[in-house]
Amino acid sequence: MKAIRHILITTLIILCAIGSVLYTSCTNKCGSTTCQNGGTCANNVCVCPTGYSGNSCETGWSDGSIGTYNCSRASCVPAVTGGNAWVSSVTKSSVNGGYMINISNFDNSNTTISGKIDSAIGGVNKIIVSPAAGSNGINASGTYSNGVITLHFTTSSVGGPGYTCDMTMKKQ
């Protein structure tokens, strides 16, 4: 009798373990889609965590902006002398869940700044750059959409005046 009870208890434990594995493997399913990057399913749609978008939360907000850009600036106050066309690169930063970017050769100055890409609203991502993020006295705000970054920025410098400009970056 003890042997049968032991077999029944062991069988029950094994069935519970198998059931929990099957349940756990299916909890992130959303119909035929598996939610990625910590996304959860609600009403058969993946709900993405901060920093991700897409049907299965597969795209980091900064992913589309990564690349090499042809840049130009205009409307600077006071006027800035020198070349108004250059090339910059945008890379993804490894901090804050992948929605930080680095822009190298910002404003044709060999300076790299960091910015945050905020959530996409209507296909347009907001970009914010602030000195607190280690951006060398540069404040900027703008958008990324369809391979184009537009920024309005202000610089400050120690011992001299800064300037305010608009900049357009077009992905190569």
pLDDT in tens, 90-133: 998 766 555 788 999 988 888 888 888 876 665 677 888 876 54
CB count in 10 Å sphere of residue 28: 17
Q: Which pLDDT tens digit goes with each residue over 29-83?
A: 788 889 998 899 998 899 888 777 788 988 877 788 899 999 998 888 888 776 7
Q: How does residue 151 score in pLDDT terms, banded at 50, 70 and 90?
A: very high
Q: Does 69 share its domain with 53?
A: no
Residues 157 and 76 in one domain: yes
Asked if residue 106 and residue 31 are part of one domain, the reply reads: no
The last residue of one of the domains, among 59, 78, 108, is: 59
- 73 and 143: one domain? yes
Radius of gyration of the chain measured on its C-alpha atoms: 25
Domain shared by 97 and 51, yes or no: no
Task: Give the sign of the dihedral formed by CA 58, CA 94, CA 171, CA 77.
Answer: positive
- The answer on 71 and 50 residing in a single domain is no
Residues 126 and 155 in one domain: yes
Query: Within this chain, do residues 70 and 105 fall inside the same structural domain, yes or no?
Result: yes
Domain count of the fold of the chain? 2
Q: Which of 27, 44, 59 is the last residue of a domain?
A: 59
Of 40, 59, 78, at which residue does a domain stop?
A: 59
Same domain, 122 and 70: yes
Residue 102's domain spans which residues?
62-171
**CATH number of the domain within which 71 lies:** 2.40.128
Residues 99, 156, single domain; the answer is: yes
What amino acid occupies position 46? C
For residues 71 and 155, membership in a common domain is answered with: yes
| Amino acid 149: pLDDT | 94
Higher pLDDT among residues 119 and 147, named by residue: 147
Q: How far are the Cα atoms of 90, 107, 144, 168 from residue 71, in angstroms, in the given order? A: 12, 8, 14, 6
Residues 165 and 82 in one domain: yes
